[in-house]
Amino acid sequence: MFLELKNLIISNPKGKIPDLLFLAIKEKILGKKYSLAINFINAKTAQELNIKYRQKEYTPEILSFPFSKSEGEMMICLSAARIKAKKFSKKNPVNYKDFLILLIIHGCLSLTGKDFENQEENFRADLEEKYLQFFKKINSNSCTFYMSIKNPNSIVL
């Protein structure tokens, strides 16, 4: 399945695209002009990419690749995300769909180019949680969600 919205392309050749707030998240964090491709990949491909680009052996849930200040790509492995979501939900009150939203937020923040490694340890996690709560609120209100797609920068966290 393939979906294209404004400057966002989403592909999942093996199945259905999850019903998430892709465009609203992308535009709120990266901006309207940022071109983003999101690809859903299998565990083998995710692990191969992780070895090739990060020299890490495990299968990641998400990989983000910035190409420029205005263009990037995310690779999401749904099978790895499902496993991690189960572990994550034991300590945090998040369901699988919320965990996927959190992954998209995490990926978008990675693509901003900000150096989170030199920040206070919980800074990125706090920022991700703030965005997650914001988008969960939007998701529960279809009118607000529609407005966020039309003008996501008008919504203030």
Q: How many CB atoms lie within 10 A of CB 12?
A: 17
User: Which helix H or strand E contains 101, and what residues bound it?
Assistant: helix 96-111
What is this structure's pTM?
Answer: 0.76
Domains belonging to the chain, first-starting first, are: 2-152 (3.40.390.30)
Q: Which residue has the tokens 């009118």?
A: 143
Chain centroid, CA 77 distance in Å: 11
The strands making up 71-77's β-sheet, listed across from edge to edge, are: 2-5, 8-11, 35-41, 71-77, 62-68
- What the block records as the tokens of 97 is 């769909």
Residuewise pLDDT in 10s, the chain (157 residues)? 656 666 777 776 666 666 667 888 888 889 999 999 999 899 999 999 999 999 999 999 999 999 999 999 999 999 999 998 888 877 777 788 888 888 898 899 889 877 665 555 566 677 777 877 777 776 654 333 333 333 333 333 3
Pick from 133, 129, 138: nearest CA to 24: 138
pLDDT for the residue numbered 126: 74
Q: Which two tokens stand for residue 79?
A: 């099978």
From residue 74, alpha-carbon distances to 68, 87, 122, 155 in Å are: 13, 22, 23, 24
